[in-house]
């Protein structure tokens, strides 16, 4: 495959060196040289470009290009490592606890089927929750940082268990020299002063679900009685975020084919005063009327570009916000191995149902074929675990040849499975969106380089 | 350099030796829960 990826966006010519991860912003001359570089000799390049540029400029620019090539930061070779020696001990370090398979909203696109995950409405008992934390500690080897997300349905519907589990986790931390990082995902309906206080004190991140503009939200996120939820939730979220101070949170929306102009929803969040924003494409099979289809891609891609322009403008004016997918920290990103192995579902990350069953991640819960074991007996479907472990950017044909592989890391297994019936065949629409988001994020970084935020 | 501004010189290769410690955040726990972008996570060793 090619060794570089070039694109022009937001007034920048950007050259990404795929294999080293180095990123360069170049002028038009270097942009043209790069195009010729691999298939032409130095003389040929000079000859081809001297009509458009002074020859000494071409020579000088070529020297710069060659210096980077020599340093291994341009046209560098693939690091292909055939033996990805990752997690031989099958360490588990993160759990998604399905505290309640029940919900007090009836979001139309809910992958959890309005909270019950295709099963009965159920709450996790304290006993199952404790067993899950024990299981995590026992299987975490020498990892210190352990993550537990309280998820649902709607976890606030079973909040006493959440509180007791946090307390139990703190006891385990001391005994076993671990550190639990608790997070929670909520729709906000049941937020009140007491649970807000508890969450702010104990959760390191909080994901607040809301879909953006009132009309968009109320259409997709009605209450049980069919009314809109926006007016109930927004004041609570605003109060919550104010109490939260500097601790991390995300307001998180979903976009569907009903709001392909989702940049407006992102900006609506910003206007309301939220600073950390994530708006994600819906995961829905094509027969749903709100599903995202190939024919929507062009609009979606333009929308990401549009958002990136606004985003840069706000940041430059000192009035910026964070959009999850535009926040690539080019210098402190994850190590190579993490980039290769991806999300860790089914291996180091597992989901736990209210009954204590283990699944590869929250998106697979409810699909019996993917049951991996339970918190009492541990993981017993070893073949399935091996299959997840083996799904990485070198084992997926599409990823091998994709310039975005070291940012994307192979996409979402659940999407791949749902759309292509294989963990190793990424879902094309997701890929296109992901590649655009990465280009946008890098163009944002290029535009903000040297600016104080 | 006059024609090129390098945003990052970090090379993936240099992170192999020290990498893979597994202490960093699981990507799907961060904000989205439906898709995966590992590139915007951060490393615990930086
Ligand atoms: S964008 Fe698609 S093909 Fe590229 S790395 Fe991600 S999942 Fe693989
Ligand atoms: S399979 Fe998809 S939803 Fe599940 S943890 Fe991985 S990226 Fe997240």
Show pLDDT as tens, one digit a residue, over chain A (453 residues): 789 999 999 999 999 999 999 999 999 999 999 999 999 999 999 999 999 999 999 999 999 999 999 999 999 998 777 667 778 899 999 999 999 999 999 988 886 666 677 777 899 999 999 999 999 999 999 999 999 999 988 999 999 999 999 999 999 999 999 999 999 999 999 999 999 999 999 999 999 999 999 999 999 999 999 999 999 999 999 999 999 999 999 999 999 999 999 999 999 999 999 999 999 999 888 888 999 999 999 999 999 999 999 999 999 999 999 999 999 888 888 888 888 888 999 999 999 999 999 999 999 998 999 999 999 999 999 999 999 999 999 999 999 999 999 999 999 999 999 899 999 999 999 999 999 999 999 999 999 987 754
At A161, phi and psi to the nearest 5? -65, -40
User: Which of A410, A422, A439 maximizes ligand 1 atoms within 8 Å of its Cβ, making it the mutation to test the pocket?
Assistant: A410
User: Residue whose CA is closest, atom 1 of ligand 1?
Assistant: A431
Q: How many CB atoms lie within 10 A of CB A80?
A: 9
Q: Is residue B43 in contact with ligand 2, taking CB distance under 6 Å?
A: no
Q: Which atom of ligand 2 is nearest to the CA of B36?
A: 7
A74 burial (CB, 10 Å; 0-12 / 13-18 / 19+) is buried
Q: Is B17 on the interface with A (CB under 8 A)?
A: no
Q: How do residues A130-188 score in pLDDT, each as one tens digit?
A: 999 999 999 999 999 999 999 988 999 999 999 999 999 999 999 999 999 999 999 99
Of A224, A217, A212, A2, which is closest to residue A105 (Cα–Cα)? Answer: A224
Record: contact B44-A145, CB cut-off 8 A? yes
Q: Residue B31: which pLDDT band, with cuts at 50, 70 and 90?
A: low
Output the pTM of the full model: 0.94
- Cβ within 8 Å, pair B4-A65: yes
Residue with tokens 């946008």: A440
A98 lines ligand 1 (CB under 6 A): no
Cis peptide before A153 (omega within 30 of 0): yes
Question: CA A181, CA B14: separation in Å to the nearest integer?
Answer: 28
Q: Which atom of ligand 2 is nearest to the CA of A361?
A: 4
Cβ–Cβ contact B20 with A under 8 A: yes
Letter string b/e over residues A332-371, b meaning 16 or more CB atoms within 10 A of that residue's CB:
ebbbbbbbbbbbbbbbbbbbbbbebbbbbbbbbbbeeebb
Instruction: Give dist(CA A194, CA A207) in Å, integer.
Output: 18
**A111 alpha carbon, distance to own chain's centre:** 17
What ipTM was reported for this prediction? 0.91
State the Cα–Cα distance between residues A419 and A414, nearest whole angstrom.
8
């Amino acid at each position: 495959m090619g060794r570089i990826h070039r694109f022009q966006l937001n007034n920048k010519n950007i050259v990404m060196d795929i294999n080293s991860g180095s990123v360069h912003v170049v002028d038009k001359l270097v942009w043209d040289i790069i195009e010729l570089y691999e298939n032409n000799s130095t003389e040929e390049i000079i000859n081809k470009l001297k009509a458009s540029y002074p020859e000494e400029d071409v020579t000088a620019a070529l020297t710069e290009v060659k210096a980077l090539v020599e340093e291994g930061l341009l046209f560098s070779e693939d690091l292909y490592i055939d033996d990805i020696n990752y997690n031989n001990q099958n360490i588990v370090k993160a759990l998604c606890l399905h505290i309640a398979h029940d919900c007090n909203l009836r979001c139309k696109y809910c992958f959890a089927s309005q909270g019950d995950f295709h099963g009965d409405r159920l709450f996790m008992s304290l006993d199952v929750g404790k067993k899950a934390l024990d299981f995590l500690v026992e299987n975490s080897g020498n990892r210190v940082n352990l993550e537990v997300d309280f998820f649902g349905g709607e976890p606030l519907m079973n909040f006493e268990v959440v509180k007791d589990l946090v307390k139990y986790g703190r006891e385990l931390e001391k005994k076993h020299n671990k550190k639990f990082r608790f997070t929670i995902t909520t729709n906000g309906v049941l937020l009140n002063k007491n649970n807000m206080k508890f969450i702010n004190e104990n959760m390191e991140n909080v994901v607040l679900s809301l879909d953006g503009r009132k009309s968009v939200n109320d259409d997709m996120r009605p209450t049980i009685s069919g009314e809109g939820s926006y007016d109930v939730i927004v004041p609570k979220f605003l109060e919550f975020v104010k109490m939260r101070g500097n601790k991390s949170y995300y307001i998180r929306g979903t976009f569907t084919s009903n709001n392909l102009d989702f940049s407006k929803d992102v900006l609506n969040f910003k206007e309301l005063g939220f600073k950390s924003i994530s708006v994600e494409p819906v995961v829905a099979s094509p027969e749903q009327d709100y599903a995202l289809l190939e024919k929507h891609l062009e609009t979606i891609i333009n929308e990401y570009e549009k958002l990136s322009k606004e985003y840069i403008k706000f940041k430059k004016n000192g009035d910026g916000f964070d959009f999850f997918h535009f926040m690539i920290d080019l210098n402190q990103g994850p190590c190579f191995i993490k980039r290769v192995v991806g999300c860790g579902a089914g291996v180091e990350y597992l989901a736990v149902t209210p009954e204590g069953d283990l699944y590869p991640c929250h998106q697979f819960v409810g699909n019996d074929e993917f049951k991996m074991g339970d918190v009492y007996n541990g993981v017993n479907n070893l073949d399935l675990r091996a299959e997840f472990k083996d799904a990485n950017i070198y084992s997926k044909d599409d990823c091998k040849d994709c310039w975005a592989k070291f940012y994307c890391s192979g996409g979402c297994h659940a999407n791949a499975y749902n759309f292509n019936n294989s963990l190793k065949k990424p879902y094309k629409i997701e890929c296109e969106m992901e590649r655009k988001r990465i280009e946008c994020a890098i163009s944002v970084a290029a535009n903000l380089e040297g600016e104080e935020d | 350099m006059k024609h090129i501004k390098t945003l990052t010189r970090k090379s993936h290769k240099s992170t192999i030796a020290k990498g893979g410690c597994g202490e960093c955040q699981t990507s799907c726990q961060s904000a989205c829960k439906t898709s995966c972008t590992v590139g915007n996570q951060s490393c615990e060793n930086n």
